[in-house]
Amino acid sequence: MDGFSAAQIDQLRAKPETILSVAESVRAPKELLSQQLADVRSSLDGKPADPLHYLDRASIDAIPVVEPVTLTLPEARSVGGAIPNLVAKRSGKLHAAPRVELVTIGKQTRLSFARSTPYVTVDDQVVPQLSAAHSYLHSLFNWREELRKNVFEIENVYLIHDHFGGNNFAHWLMDWAPRFAFLDEVGIPRSKLHFFSPMPLSSVQRSTIARLGIEPSQFIRFHRDTTSEPYTLLISRLFGCSTVGCDLRRPAQYASSWALDFVRGLFLEQDLPRNRNFRIGRKGTRQLLLSPEIESLLEAQGFETVFLEDMSLDNQAALFNSAKTIVSAHGAALSNLIFCQPGTNVLEIFPPDYSTGNFFTVAAARGLNYFTLSGDRVEREKAKHRRDHDISVSDVAAIKLFLEQCI
């Protein structure tokens, strides 16, 4: 197939769940992969393994749209036990979010998806701002000939997808959605742009793009079937935000005020009275199992239990904006801290053997009173990851200490 016909484009735009039925990568043998990774690490020394594979910056139209920002994070606080490792690593440190560029490529560009990561090239040279951090590895796997087997043509693509797969709520809200902030800078009506997604659009994603005046039919889904071959799109004009291809993987979680403000502005018109105390329940994995004494203690303080799975993003934004105090297990729901008002009290409860500093950073950027607590793991059958087991908490003294800090 040499390209999309006019009829096929119409079909793509009319049917939101169109699947491009060619996909990620021909998997390299494990031994070869290990050796190539070793070769790359030994030759990198802070630079790409083969600089000839990278397009010179001078030939890329990259306009700065956000200047670098820094934030000195506060000292992390725990109400019981040690501060989780990855929170401790950010505690009291200077946190930097790099400059953001809007990249425009007006000549024919190849956008390849291998292992669900974008691999953008012009004349076989990688465009670093719009390619996943691992993109130099793809050329070492000699996939370029493989990528030529399945070629489709399309125009006016705005790239928001990077190497995070799926449509996880946190990845969407904290990573992909902020990249829409620069749509008006490209000089093309939003209705004329195309986007890509690895999975069917969720209700949260649909509500987000609806506020941006983007139709689901403008999204083309690329299939993630690992048994099929990778594919390439020939694009006449490609636009993208440089957060796709640098270390700024989740703009909102790197204290980027532009990202926080953009997402807040989509779903909040004004702040609500801050008067609700609640804990976040979960219907699936990583349920928070509180002792009866702690349950009674929270109930006496006016805490309600809320479940976000069936709640619209508008309602989630309003809920968190009205929050006075939040108790939650670590999870994607805490992406909603974006919507909190300064002074909101937050207790993030971690499993004993997993942590991340992302929500600590968001809390610091929003001026929230953030605390941690490590619970005990309760084994969950068929858990896919160690973070997916349930978490039990019986340390009444820790919860009392947290509530005292909230007064």
Whether pLDDT at 272 is above 80 = yes
Cα–Cα separations (whole angstroms), residue 134 to 118, 222, 259, 333: 10, 20, 24, 28
pLDDT at residue number 270: 93
Kindly state the average pLDDT of the residues 30-55. Answer: 48
What is the average pLDDT value for the chain, to the nearest integer? 78
Q: pTM score, two decimals?
A: 0.82
pLDDT at residue number 89: 93
Contact between residue 163 and residue 243 where contact means Cβ atoms under 8 Å apart:
no
Whether pLDDT at 102 is above 60 = yes
pLDDT at residue number 304: 96
Whether pLDDT at 85 is above 70 = yes
Q: Report the percentage of the chain scoring pLDDT > 90.
A: 40
Whether pLDDT at 208 is above 90 = yes
Whether pLDDT at 94 is above 80 = yes
pLDDT at residue number 37: 45
pLDDT at residue number 14: 41
Of 65-69, 239-243, 322-326, 360-364, where does mean pLDDT reach its minimum?
239-243
pLDDT at residue number 78: 96
Q: Give the domains, in start order, of the chain with CATH numbers.
A: 6-67+100-263 (no CATH), 276-406 (3.40.50)
Whether pLDDT at 352 is above 80 = yes
For residues 7 and 72, the model is more confident at 72
pLDDT at residue number 278: 97
Q: pLDDT of 353-399, one tens digit each?
A: 888 898 999 999 999 999 999 998 887 777 677 677 788 899 999 99
Contact between residue 152 and residue 1 where contact means Cβ atoms under 8 Å apart:
yes
pLDDT at residue number 130: 77
pLDDT at residue number 50: 47
Of 140-149, 155-164, 234-243, 248-257, where does mean pLDDT reach its minimum?
140-149
For residues 375 and 126, the model is more confident at 375
Q: pLDDT of 283-302, one tens digit each?
A: 877 789 899 999 999 999 99
* pLDDT winner (highest mean) among 58-62, 96-100, 110-114, 184-188: 184-188
